[in-house]
């Protein structure tokens, strides 16, 4: 099935149901209206000379026009290359990789777009979403011009979009995601979440991330739900928007989910229609899952995926989890075969830690990177680079990235163990552990902490916190430094940026109460 067929199916089945709602501008489109608008977007792109297989860079903030431009690309068989606006300084790299013929952007990105387009030399048209700009066409005028839409190429195996990796281990790579595997994967996600047409999904994370596509957008469209997108999230305004939308599903990252918990505590109530939180982009602390269950009486469903997938490897369910389920992500999904391999690519026994690998429903490869593709897809398995185990019930538990393991005095540490132990203290909202070079220890553990309620560590006895965490994780934390911060640096995809923390750690010393 083709991704854009979800809209045509919705227009046929529930034409008057709201498909898309842009929270910041309070703009909505019904399924019938969204289908017509995507046909207009497809006509615009075809008028601009875009053909099947051509790349179209979308470099914009979340909004209605972003959705229409993206689905317009899907509709004509073009490839939507989605780049986060936070990567403005690196835009020339991304565009140089996929060599677009058209770039669609928001007005405040003009300088970066014009510079990158000049450097790349393949761009035939620049299109500004917000109206006329010198040297660019105006998206609103093009959408109203009445150009005829071309025939649908109808190729389920065609690449729909380039999903760029976060670049934590080298230059970002464009994972080529095709229509049919993405539709199949997101149908499995919708079924796991038990979505119905009455659900209202809400996603404030960047549309440029594949997580937004496979958590908030496509699973909801399978069931003709309403999808909310939002650009300007903050704790109070975001909470108010959730309530106003009547959202039943909140698809976000751990930081936003923690903020909903904090705001619910502050107001003494939960967004009334909400029935689940869905997390991606990074590991979810068990303490956050437990708090959602015990304080909000809601499941916080953890997902695990990668840019290389048009879906998830594993996903929890919409029931309140038992204590034995809190530490696991959830069961693997039926569109993929998931195994755990050792360093020699041999399958290990249930419960044994190894690399998470899978086959079925993954990328066609990295755009213009055959060597990287061969490395990731060797022996027809996608090697994730993540370590974990699968228990006898089929639940996957993550242990961490292979690259994030730290070796302290000859012992290998999974940072997640220490981070989760620190967050067992209710005063700790977030924790991140990295290893720094140390002559005596090999690597010295350094923890960065955000205290609950913005206390910045005031009143927290760091020695007592070390002792408390050591007792839970079974590690000697005497040499671990503790640094309290107001916020932790984040990547554009919503993950804690441990690379930036490593830079900061060289400048900071242990903070004691």
Q: Out of 2.40.50.660, 3.40.50.12280, 3.40.50.980, 1.10.10.920, which CATH number does the structure's domain 32-164 have?
A: 3.40.50.980
The CATH homologous superfamily to which domain 181-402 belongs is ANL, N-terminal domain (3.40.50.12780)
The 3-class secondary structure across 371-414, one letter per residue, is HHHHHHCHHHCEEEEEEEEECCCCEEEEEEEHHHCEEECCEEEC
Among 180-189, 303-312, 495-504, the range scoring the smallest mean pLDDT is 495-504
Highest mean pLDDT among 147-156, 414-423, 493-502: 147-156
The whole-number average pLDDT for the span 144-162 is: 97
Find tokens 């553990």 and name the residue. Answer: 445
- 267-300: pLDDT as tens digits: 999 999 999 999 998 888 888 999 999 999 999 9
Q: Do domains 32-164 and 181-402 have the same CATH topology?
A: yes
CB 3 within 8 A of CB 218: yes
- 51-87: pLDDT as tens digits: 999 999 999 999 999 999 999 999 999 999 999 999 9
- 173-202: pLDDT as tens digits: 999 999 999 999 999 999 999 999 999 999
pLDDT of residue 159 exceeding 50, the answer is yes
pLDDT of residue 500 exceeding 90, the answer is no
pLDDT of residue 170 exceeding 80, the answer is no
pLDDT of residue 330 exceeding 80, the answer is yes
- 337-363: pLDDT as tens digits: 999 999 999 999 999 999 999 998 899
The whole-number average pLDDT for the span 208-231 is: 96
- 73-122: pLDDT as tens digits: 999 999 999 999 999 999 999 999 999 999 999 999 999 999 999 999 99
Taking Cα atoms as reference points, which of 295, 298, 402, 302 lies closest to residue 343? 402
pLDDT of residue 364 exceeding 50, the answer is yes
CATH code for residues 405-505? 3.30.300.30
pLDDT confidence of residue 282: 81
Give the domain ranges of the chain. Answer: 32-164, 181-402, 405-505
CA distance 493 to 490: 8
pLDDT of residue 513 exceeding 50, the answer is no
pLDDT of residue 511 exceeding 60, the answer is no
pLDDT confidence of residue 512: 39
Q: With bands split at pLDDT 50, 70 and 90, how would you rate the model's confidence at 509?
A: very low
CA distance 282 to 219: 20
pLDDT of residue 508 exceeding 80, the answer is no
CB 115 within 8 A of CB 59: no
| H helix and E strand count, the chain | 16, 25
**DSSP single-letter state for residue 362:** B
pLDDT over 70, % of the chain: 97
Beta bridge partners of 29: 20
Inter-axis angle of helices 235-245 and 254-267, nearest 10 = 80
Phi, psi of 246 (to 5 degrees): 65, 35
**What is the reported pTM?**
0.89
Q: With bands split at pLDDT 50, 70 and 90, how would you rate the model's confidence at 168?
A: low
pLDDT confidence of residue 329: 95
DSSP 70-106: HHHHHHHT-EEEE--GGGGGGHHHHHHHH--SEEEE-
């Amino acid at each position: 099935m083709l991704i854009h067929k979800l809209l045509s199916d919705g227009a046929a089945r529930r034409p008057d149901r709201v498909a898309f709602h842009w929270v910041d501008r309070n703009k909505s489109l019904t399924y019938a209206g969204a289908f017509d608008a995507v046909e207009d977007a497809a006509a615009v792109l075809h008028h601009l000379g875009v053909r099947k297989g051509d790349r179209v860079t979308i470099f914009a903030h979340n909004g209605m026009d972003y959705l229409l431009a993206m689905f317009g690309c899907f509709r004509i068989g073009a490839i939507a290359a989605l780049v986060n606006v936070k990567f403005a300084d690196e835009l020339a790299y991304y565009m140089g990789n996929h060599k677009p013929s058209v770039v669609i952007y928001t007005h405040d990105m003009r300088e970066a777009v014009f510079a990158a387009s000049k450097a790349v030399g393949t761009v035939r048209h620049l299109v500004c979403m917000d109206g006329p700009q010198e040297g660019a066409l105006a998206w609103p005028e093009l959408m109203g011009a009445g150009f005829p839409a071309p025939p649908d190429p109808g190729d389920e195996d065609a690449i729909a979009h380039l999903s760029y990796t976060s670049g934590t281990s080298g230059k970002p790579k464009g994972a080529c995601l095709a229509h049919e595997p993405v539709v199949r994967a997101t149908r499995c996600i919708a079924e796991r979440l038990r979505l119905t047409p009455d659900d209202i999904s809400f996603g404030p994370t960047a549309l440029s991330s594949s997580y937004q596509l496979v958590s908030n957008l496509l699973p909801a469209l399978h069931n003709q739900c309403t999808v909310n997108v939002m650009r300007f999230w903050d704790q109070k305004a975001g909470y108010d928007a959730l309530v106003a939308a009547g959202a039943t599903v909140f698809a976000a990252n751990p930081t936003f989910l923690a903020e909903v918990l904090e705001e619910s505590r502050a107001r003494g109530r939960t967004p009334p229609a909400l029935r689940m939180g869905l997390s991606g982009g990074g590991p979810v602390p068990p303490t956050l899952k437990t708090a959602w269950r015990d304080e909000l009486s809601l499941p916080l469903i953890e997902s695990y995926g990668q840019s290389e997938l048009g879906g998830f490897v594993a996903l929890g369910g919409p029931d309140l989890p038992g204590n034995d389920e809190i530490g696991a992500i959830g069961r693997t999904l039926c569109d993929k075969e998931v195994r755990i391999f050792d360093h020699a690519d041999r399958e290990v026994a249930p419960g044994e830690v190894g690399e998470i690998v899978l086959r079925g429903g993954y990328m066609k490869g990295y755009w213009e990177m055959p060597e990287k593709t061969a490395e990731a897809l060797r022996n027809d398995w996608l090697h994730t680079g993540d370590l974990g185990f699968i228990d006898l019930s089929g639940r996957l538990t993550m242990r961490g990235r292979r690259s994030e393991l730290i070796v302290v005095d000859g012992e290998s540490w999974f940072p997640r163990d220490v981070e989760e132990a620190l967050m067992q203290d209710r005063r700790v909202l977030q924790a991140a552990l990295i290893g720094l070079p140390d002559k005596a220890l090999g690597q010295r553990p350094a923890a960065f902490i955000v205290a609950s309620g913005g206390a910045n560590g005031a009143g927290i006895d760091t020695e007592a916190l070390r002792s408390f965490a050591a007792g839970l994780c079974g590690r000697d934390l005497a040499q671990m430094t503790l640094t309290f911060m107001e916020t932790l640096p984040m990547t554009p995809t919503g993950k804690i940026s441990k690379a930036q923390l490593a830079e900061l750690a060289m400048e900071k010393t242990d903070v004691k109460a």
